Structure 1
Amino acid sequence: MAEQRGELNYEDIMTLFRQENKSPQLTKVDSNLYENICSYIKSIRKESEREIAMNPSSHASMMLNDQLKKAIDKAKRVYELRQRKIALLALRKVAGDNPDTGNLTPDELVLFSSMTSVFAAHKDSNADFEELGPRQPKQQADMVYLPDTPSKKACEEKKAATPEALEAELVMARVLEDVPTFAGVDRDYKLKKEDIVSLPKNIANTLASHGKIKLIGSA
């Protein structure tokens, strides 16, 4: 059943997944891709619930429920595939390249900008290894023993747990109810019920703990 619902249908999502999975580059999509996917899933979910309420064992209810599950799964896969490609574009940008961002949606451009900022900040924080020569061996008599210091791994793990690091990690979520506009580190957020959005992990965890959203993907 490939009935049209809004601007997108079931076959569109399947085709989009196959194309995105096959191509190493971002495919050209509608600028309202994620809004259209959200609209389709909302529509088919309502139709599936209606059919199940009438006859849960009917062919129509089972088919709609199967399509709903597959559509959600493939929509998540499309998001994840595109997110990885956007991350590669951001890395190229930080490296001095000028990658083509013409196939990004407006929401993806925001994600690209955020990733570029995070990668650039990480790059700038690294030491200039060209200025660091090899350590010269010292005589045993000249060595000074200091108290044990945390390992590099422990320091990195501590850094990864900071609010800034959590803010930079993005996850995908479905909005369960309207959320009034609130301010994030990078921009203001206004969430509408049934939206599929990408949010910083710490914000997403807070909203999820209050039942405002449901997590469905991660960076």
Structure 2
Amino acid sequence: MSPPVETFEYDDLTEVYRKEQRAKNVTEVRKDLYAAIREKLTELRKETEKEFASNQFSTKAKLAANQLTKFREKADQVFEFRMEKILAMTLRAALGNRVDTARLTSEETELFTQVSSLLKEYHTTLLEIEVGARSSHLESASESLEIQEPHLEYSETVDDAEDNGYTDDVEDSATTDEDDDYARDDDVEPIPSDPDIHIDSDIIILRITEDLPPFAGPDRNYHLRKEDVVCLPSAIAKALIARKKAIPIKISKF
């Protein structure tokens, strides 16, 4: 590449640095930016070597070395700013987005083309093929799945109650699953009915004589405490009375 026509000084480089620092996207710069930077660095390097050869301890030698260092550091910062933005552009392009490259120099345009092409290739290799393979694997796995019917078990108390027709809900002071977290199905202790006890009423009022473990009713689970007064279906009431867990309460009619 031929040497730049226009001169490029430290102030010009600083202006480019400030613009790149403030802008989100790459800014408009002279198309021979990197050639101008290289040309100026070569000039400063030669000047520094000349002064050091003459007298490395002289003020001119120190000044020349300082100018070279400052220019090189600022050039590195400009390069970093622009490359960070250009790499983001290449990623967007690799993912199929439209990107404006009009503000890039010829060197940057070449870099953009190569990197975006490489990213597209890796995008296809790392994602699209693996996604296809994963989809095939999932389809095969889905075909091998078998739907199992749930197995339900009912306690003897519920079966007895349903056989005797006691399926109505009774609002009472007994605690249900919604009110008591520890009354769960796996803690339920079914209470068998006693056929020797004959009580004609469908619903019986009882006073509980001791704390009982949770047990299953026709439509709910019960958790009864000592001295609770509850209304229970006849099948459950019979079992509790037979086991001396409850006492029936008679209501006098006036």
Report the TM-score when normalising by structure 1.
0.55
**Structure-1 separation of matches of 2:73 and 2:140:** 52
* Other-structure match for 1:81: 81
Shift of 1:92: 1.1
Within 5 A, what are the aligned runs for 1:1-219? 7-125=7-125, 126=127, 127-128=130-131, 131=135, 133=138
The CA deviation at 1:22 is: 2.4
Offset at 1:50? Answer: 1.3
Distance in 2 (alpha carbons) for counterparts of 1:120 and 1:99: 14
CA 1:23–1:135 in 2, change beyond 3 Å: closer, same or farther?
A: farther
Percent identity at matched positions? 29
Q: Alignment RMSD, CA only?
A: 2.6
SS in 2 for 1:128: helix
Aligned letter for 2:78? Answer: V
Pair 1:6–1:102, CA change in 2 (3 A): closer
Work out the CA distance in 1 between the residues paired with 2:78 and 2:9.
15
2:250 — aligned with what?
A: none
Gapped regions of structure 1 (runs ≥ 5): 139-219
Q: Whose RCO is larger (CA < 8 A, sep 6+)?
A: 1
- Show CA shifts across 1:193-214 (max 9, x none): xxxxxxxxxxxxxxxxxxxxxx
Q: Which runs of 4+ in 1 moved over 3 A?
A: 132-136
Question: How many Å apart are 1:13 and its aligned residue?
Answer: 1.6
| Distance (Å, rounded) in 2 between the aligned partners of 1:116 and 1:47 | 40
How far apart are residue 6 of structure 1 and its match? 5.8
Matched AA of 2:14: M
Distance across 1 between alignment mates of 2:139 and 2:47: 67
In the alignment of these two chains, the number of paired residues is 134
1:146-180 C-alpha deviation (Å, 9 max, x unpaired): xxxxxxxxxxxxxxxxxxxxxxxxxxxxxxxxxxx
Distance 2:138 2:40 in 1: 59
Q: Deviations over 1:74-128 (max 9, x none)?
A: 2122122211211111111122211111110011100000011111001111222
Contact 1:45 1:68 in 2 (8 A): yes
Closer, same or farther in 2 for the Cα pair 1:47/1:134, shift >3 Å?
A: farther
CA contact (8 A) 1:6 1:39 kept: no
Separation of aligned partners in 1, 2:25 and 2:66:
30
- Which of structures 1 and 2 has the bigger CA Rg? 2
Question: Higher strand proportion, which one?
Answer: 1
Looking at structure 1, the residues matched to 72 and 18 of structure 2 have their Cα atoms a distance apart, in angstroms, of 15
For residues 100 and 51 of structure 1, the distance between their equivalents in structure 2, rounded to whole angstroms, comes to 45
Unaligned runs of 5+ in 2: 145-254
Q: In 2 relative to 1, CA 6–49 (structure 1 residues): closer, same or farther, beyond 3 Å?
A: farther
Q: Describe the SS at the equivalent of 1:25.
A: coil
